[in-house]
Amino acid sequence: MKPDASASWFDRAEVSAAVLRSMDAQPITLAIVLGSGLADVANQIAEPLEIPYCSIPHFPRPTVAGHEGKAVLGTLGSVRVLLYQGRFHYYEGHDLDSVIFPIRVLSRLGVKHLILTAATGGIRPDLGAGRLVVLTDHLNLLGANPLRGVNEDRFGPRFPDMTEVYSARLRSWAIEEAAALGVELTPGVYACMPGPSYETPAEIRMLGVLGADVVGMSTVPEAIAARHMGMEVLGLALVSNAAAGVTGAPITHEEVLEAGRKAGPMLASLIERLANRIAVLK
């Protein structure tokens, strides 16, 4: 049956969630969104059920290298998880309703905890390639908000509070678990830019003045939508490269993907440890 494009976003999310439930009816405790080059986390999933996005009604198709375009259902540690291996970006031409749609589907599946990962540029000179940042806050510089338009009360309130977008509790756990792995996890603020061009050195200087520590082109719309629906969010940003002007070297998407591949096993271990702690919150 062809999806009804005239249906509300809530009804579309219900349809997509029903399809996923028909494939695996077990309750999902945790969802994870993987950023560019960070697919290694999927290798930790036990008994994975891979579902191409083209099999899920109303899902867009990712067009960016490093975003495979599939959902993975399975077990991570002691927790049932849903993994999005590939996300949708504003710069691809998607509207923000489409960008956040996979997060809307999570709410209809009853998911309460969400880990967002992203490859980012390091603005602070001490945040070189390979460093891992736990997000404390963000700057939405897309020029638009994913909640703009008629509010769907079944998702959440018209004016949701954003005082704590990224859970202090999950941040604390992440720092503890990273330390147990011998990894330094640096708190930081994420600036979301529209892309797809990388930022200019002048823009990076501006972002530093505004209080940003890392910069990217994703994550923030998803975090806003998740909080709108009452989900607890953890943001983990891998610094894949120094931002423009920090070192003077040009930036390429290939180095972003390579940094993700190198950090993948470490990030997978950290997320598995976090999943086991989140299990007690069920």
Catalytic positions: 36, 67, 89, 91-92, 119, 217-218, 241, 253
Q: Is residue 89 within 8 Å of 64, Cβ to Cβ?
A: yes
Q: How far is CA 4 from CA 121, 141, 151, 204, in A?
A: 39, 32, 20, 42
Tell which residue, 106, 92, 84, 101, has the closest CA to residue 35: 84
What's the token pair of residue 244? Answer: 């423009």
Write the Ramachandran bin of 77: left for phi over 0, alpha for psi from -120 to 50, otherwise beta: left
Q: How far apart are CA 135 and CA 124, in angstroms?
A: 14
Which residues pair with residue 106 across a beta bridge?
A: none
Q: How far apart are CA 214 and CA 243, in angstroms?
A: 8
Tell which residue, 229, 197, 209, has the closest CA to residue 139: 209
Q: How far apart are CA 170 and CA 43, in angstroms?
A: 23
